[in-house]
Amino acid sequence: MDVLLYDKNVCCPVCNCQFTTKKVRSRGLKVLEKHDDYNIVYKDINPIYYNVWICPECGYSATESEYIELSKPQKNIIWEHVRARWLKRDFGGVRNVAEAIETYKLALVTAQLLNKSKAYRGNLCLRLAWIYREQKNLNEIEYLKHALKYFIESYSQEKLPTGGLDEITMAYLIAELNRGLGSYMEAIKWYSKALDNPEIKKKRQIQIKAREQWRLAKEEYDAERNRKKA
């Protein structure tokens, strides 16, 4: 595993602490499995364990994209609500599953305090759900529901693309999360929303996948309805 990791030097945007955190060498990754909600299972390592960077000095927790210059009011919020309660600890080494889970929960607290985008918070919840899935832990369902809620709010309230998700990709992901949670009619609605988007032909892979999953959701809905009638 060590050969897949390297140290990244980071400066905290809140307290200016210089620290190192692990990053994953993407060229060394070997894909074992791909899930329909974009989770990818790799051999030997789970890269998402290292997505969140945490300052050991003040506790500021965020993904790389959010390790950016903060305003004075934002810094004050972190100082008052995070730093004041922070027990200094270092997440810069190789992380186990418990540490990875903790980093995402800390990042969610930071995201809530700073009112980060719904899409960003949804992505944190989704990746946390994937970690729980890896452990066959039922908390996966809780965080899939949180992710779904945030993505639906983002789709209706935020200017897209945001959080790495454009309108089509987010509609597909909302559909897939609904299907995975057993809300088949909602899934069908959102797959259709993705497929009806005028730009869908530019995203051929999603177009093909959304059609397949629409049919699957319809089959699952019909099967569920027949079971209820029996």
Q: Do 15 and 55 meet the contact criterion of CB atoms below 8 Å apart? A: yes
Residue 184 to residue 175: CA distance in whole angstroms: 9
**Which residue, chain included where needed, has tokens 């908390």?**
139
Q: DSSP letter at 23?
A: E
SS3 59: coil
What pLDDT is recorded for position 1? 65
Sequence-separated (6 or more) residues with CB below 8 Å from residue 68: 13
Compute CA 140 distance to the chain's CA centroid, rounded to the nearest angstrom.
12
Cross-strand partners of 54: 61
Residue 41 to residue 109: CA distance in whole angstroms: 26
Among 146, 76, 132, CA closest to 100: 132
Q: Do 140 and 129 meet the contact criterion of CB atoms below 8 Å apart? A: yes
Q: Do 12 and 57 meet the contact criterion of CB atoms below 8 Å apart? A: yes
0.85 exceeded by the pTM?
A: yes
What pLDDT is recorded for position 229? 85
The parts of the chain modelled with pLDDT lower than 50 are none
What pLDDT is recorded for position 163? 85
Among 7, 8, 128, CA closest to 67: 8
State whether the Cα torsion 91-92-94-100 is positive or negative: positive
Q: Which amino acid is at 59?
A: G
Q: Which amino acid is at 162?
A: T
Residue 21 to residue 87: CA distance in whole angstroms: 18
Compute CA 216 distance to the chain's CA centroid, rounded to the nearest angstrom.
24
